[in-house]
Amino acid sequence: MTYHIEADRFGAAASTRQSPAVEAVALTSAMVSDTADLATYAKALRVWNGGSSAITLLVTPLGASSDLAAAAVPITVPSGQAGYEAISVRRIWATGSTGLLAGLTAASVEVLLLTV
């Protein structure tokens, strides 16, 4: 899928990030896909990794011109760490994301999609 302004809550308007967690949505394994974009694009991600090894999320940035995994960007979060990534994303890939689905299933990983 290419970029769709309908899924970008702010479209061409400048996004506000004064309180980014106000409308955060927890990522579920059902939202991780190699073929479908997120229903609402994330303006940023907050990732907590309580697992025993690093995890990697492979994400397609909001403005990426390609829907192929080759255009995606890896984000790695070490074990026992939390990270905030100020990157707007429209897809989180299953293929290429290491430890993400297992961590979400085991509740040892939490990813908040910040939509504001």
28-77 per-position pLDDT tens digit:
999 999 999 999 999 999 999 999 999 999 999 999 989 999 999 999 99
pLDDT at 6: 72
Domain for residue 11, yes or no?
Answer: no
Cα-trace Rg, the chain: 13
Domain for residue 6, yes or no?
Answer: no
Domain for residue 49, yes or no?
Answer: yes
Domain for residue 19, yes or no?
Answer: no
Number of domains comprising the chain: 1
Q: Which residue did the predictor score with more confidence, 94 or 5?
A: 94
Q: What's the 3-state SS for the chain?
A: CCCCHHHCCCCCCCCCCCCHHHHCEECCHHHCCCCCCCCCCECEEEEEECCCCCEEEEEEECCCCCCCHHHCEEEEECCCEEEEECCCEEEEEEEEEECHHHHHHHCCEEEEEECC
Sequence-distant (≥ 6) Cβ neighbours of residue 10 within 8 angstroms: 43
Domain for residue 79, yes or no?
Answer: yes
Mean pLDDT computed over 4-8: 73
Domain range holding 102?
Answer: 33-114
Domain for residue 43, yes or no?
Answer: yes
